[in-house]
């Protein structure tokens, strides 16, 4: 069965769970939510199951429903040639089909879509692992605050990687290719965007934020170690703070831990063009989901939102954000860190590039148990 069929099935299930106009169909109650757990707390068998399912997805043909909307229009085009071929042991593009949604990066970062969109996206990926590759566990998350207590130690980020099979860091001498774990150079895992390549990671303690996220007039603190921005006190401060204030909660989480983890892992996770990329490759978060670590990272971001939503009554349904990214200068950025007008409402549509057969709206993903979603975090 092609993925498109299963996705249609998936989406029909999804749609049937939404309250239709007239309210004739009830939402299915989420009585047994999946429990998302920290990667390192999973038995090795369960970690292996997830990895196997991801590798399975990465070998399936690309999904024809998927309609990439390239934004900005001048970045390297989406490569759909793999879609016509299946097998010969080569990686085709299902995983990358999902990843390529990140083309929409100007809509889903620094706008109100950031948290809702990524919640939908992780869930969609999780559903694809289940329906196409028989995965039975739940989406794992990576708690970046767990590890070495030393704030700038590499160990905190690395410690779990080789053990778990997700692989560790690349080295300069080998173009930062990931050489161990299940997605290494010696595996068949080859993300196809911006061109087929070996996944890479480049531990970066002081990310060049001024180059990666240039905002005229905005001064990044380039001497702050990335790891200082995702410590336990920082994350607890975010979860416990900002009572009822979604805007500043979101802005601090997105610009802070979320961004620094991407940039600290670097390589594919930061959307940095690999060595040898074609000239039309532009470093941008268009392909950060090439690295399966992306899904563990964003599950953690989602978990922080979930924990915050459960912290105070006034947080539960709090939302404030616009639909337009405003990075043109520091004034605009600081005023509209969660997007400029037109502002989004609970009826605003989440961009899905064809991966959902009917519109998904913000209110569908505000709760992980009271709408079509059905999971909790431990």
Ligand X SMILES: *[C@@H]1O[C@H](CO)[C@@H](O)[C@H](O)[C@H]1NC(C)=O
Q: In angstroms, what is the C-alpha Rg of the chain? A: 20
Chain center to CA of 210: 22
Does 195 interact with ligand X (rule: CB under 6 A)?
Answer: yes
Minimum CB distance to ligand X, residue 18 (Å): 36
> Among 41, 81, 317, 358, which residue interacts with ligand X (rule: CB under 6 A)?
81
HEC profile of 82-97: HHHCCCCCCCCCHHHH
Residues 130-189 that bind ligand X (CB under 6 A): 176
Q: Tell which residue, 70, 253, 38, has the closest CA to residue 159.
A: 38
**CA angle, 188 then 194 then 195, to 5°:** 50
Q: How many residues bind ligand X (CB under 6 A)?
A: 24
The interface region with ligand X, picked from 56-64, 116-124, 298-306, 328-336 by CB under 6 A, is 328-336
Contact 124, 102 (CB under 8 A): no
What is the smallest separation between the CB atom of 131 and ligand X, expressed in angstroms? 24
Q: Contact between 243 and ligand X (CB under 6 A)?
A: no
CA 253 to chain centre: 14
Of 97 and 202, the one with the shorter C-beta distance to ligand X is: 202
| Cα 125 from Cα 123, distance rounded (Å) | 5
Choose, by CB under 6 A, the member of 124, 202, 309, 337 that binds ligand X.
Answer: 202
Select 52 or 231, whichever has its Cβ closest to ligand X: 231
Q: Which is nearer to ligand X, 50 or 203 (CB)?
A: 203
341 near ligand X, judged by CB under 6 A: no
How many residues does the structure list for the chain?
378
What are the residues whose beta carbons fall under 8 Å from the beta carbon of 82, sequence distance 6 or more? 61, 62, 90, 91, 92, 93, 96, 192
Task: Give the CA count within 13 Å in the CB-facing half-sphere of 123.
Answer: 29
Q: Is residue 234 at the binding interface for ligand X, with CB under 6 A as the rule?
A: yes
192 binds ligand X (CB under 6 A): yes
53: CB partners within 8 A, 6+ apart: 129, 130, 133, 134, 135
Return the structure tokens found at 183: 């997605």
Of 218, 228, 248, 376, the one binding ligand X by CB under 6 A:
228
Q: Of the two residues 108 and 235, which places its CB atom closer to ligand X in the complex?
A: 235
> Between 265 and 360, whose beta carbon lies closer to ligand X?
265
Q: Should residue 238 be labelled a site residue for ligand X when binding is judged by CB under 6 A?
A: no
Among 68, 82, 321, 354, the residue binding ligand X under the rule CB under 6 A is 82
Q: Which is nearer to ligand X, 138 or 255 (CB)?
A: 255
- Check binding of 277 to ligand X (CB under 6 A): no
Among 20, 72, 151, 196, binds ligand X (CB under 6 A): 196
Q: Which is nearer to ligand X, 77 or 359 (CB)?
A: 77
Of the pair 122, 332, the CB lying nearest ligand X is at 332
- SS3 readout for 265-310: HCHHHHCCCCCCCCCCCCCCCCCHHHCCHHHHHHHHHHHHHHHHHC
- 31 part of the interface to ligand X, by CB under 6 A: no
The CA–CA distances, whole Å, from 316 to 11, 119, 301 equal 26, 15, 16
204, 290, 309, 338: residue in contact with ligand X (rule CB under 6 A): 204
Question: Which one of residues 2, 33, 162, 256 is an interface residue with ligand X (CB under 6 A)?
Answer: 256
Residues that bind ligand X (CB under 6 A): 79, 81-82, 176, 192, 195-196, 202, 204, 220-221, 223-224, 228-229, 234, 255-256, 272, 275, 328-329, 331-332
């Amino acid at each position: 069965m092609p993925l498109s069929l299963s996705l249609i099935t998936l989406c029909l299930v999804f749609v049937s769970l939404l309250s239709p106009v007239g309210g004739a169909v009830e939402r299915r109650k989420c009585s047994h939510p999946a429990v998302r757990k920290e990667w390192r707390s999973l038995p090795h068998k369960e970690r292996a199951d997830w990895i196997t399912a991801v590798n399975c997805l990465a070998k399936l043909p690309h999904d024809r429903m998927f309609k990439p909307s390239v934004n900005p229009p001048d970045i390297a085009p989406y490569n759909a040639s793999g879609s016509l071929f299946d097998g010969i042991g080569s990686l085709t593009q299902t995983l990358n089909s999902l990843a390529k949604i990140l083309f929409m990066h100007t809509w889903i970062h620094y706008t109100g879509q950031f948290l809702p969109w990524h919640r939908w996206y992780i869930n969609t990926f999780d559903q694809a692992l289940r329906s196409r590759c028989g995965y039975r566990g739940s989406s794992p998350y990576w708690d970046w605050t767990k590890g070495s207590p030393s704030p700038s130690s590499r160990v905190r980020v690395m410690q779990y990687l080789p053990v778990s099979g997700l692989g560790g860091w690349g080295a300069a001498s080998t173009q930062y290719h990931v050489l161990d774990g299940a997605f290494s150079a010696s595996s068949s895992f080859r993300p196809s965007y911006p061109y087929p390549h070996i996944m890479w990671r480049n531990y970066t303690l002081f990310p060049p934020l001024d180059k990666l996220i240039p905002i005229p007039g905005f001064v990044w603190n380039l001497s702050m170690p990335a790891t200082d921005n995702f410590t336990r006190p920082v994350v607890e401060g975010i979860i416990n703070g900002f009572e009822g204030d979604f805007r500043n909660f979101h802005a601090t989480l997105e610009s802070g831990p979320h961004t620094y983890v991407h940039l600290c892992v670097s390589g594919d996770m930061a959307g940095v063009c690999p060595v040898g990329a074609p000239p039309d490759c532009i470093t941008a978060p268009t392909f950060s989901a090439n690295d399966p670590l992306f899904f563990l990272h964003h599950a953690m971001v989602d978990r922080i939102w979930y924990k915050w939503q459960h912290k105070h009554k006034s947080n539960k349904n709090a939302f404030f954000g616009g639909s337009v990214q405003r990075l043109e200068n520091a004034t605009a950025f600081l005023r509209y860190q969660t997007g400029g007008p037109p502002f989004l409402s609970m009826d605003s549509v989440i961009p899905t590039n064809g991966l959902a057969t009917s519109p998904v709206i913000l209110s569908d993903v505000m709760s992980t148990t009271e709408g079509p979603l059905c999971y909790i975090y431990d």
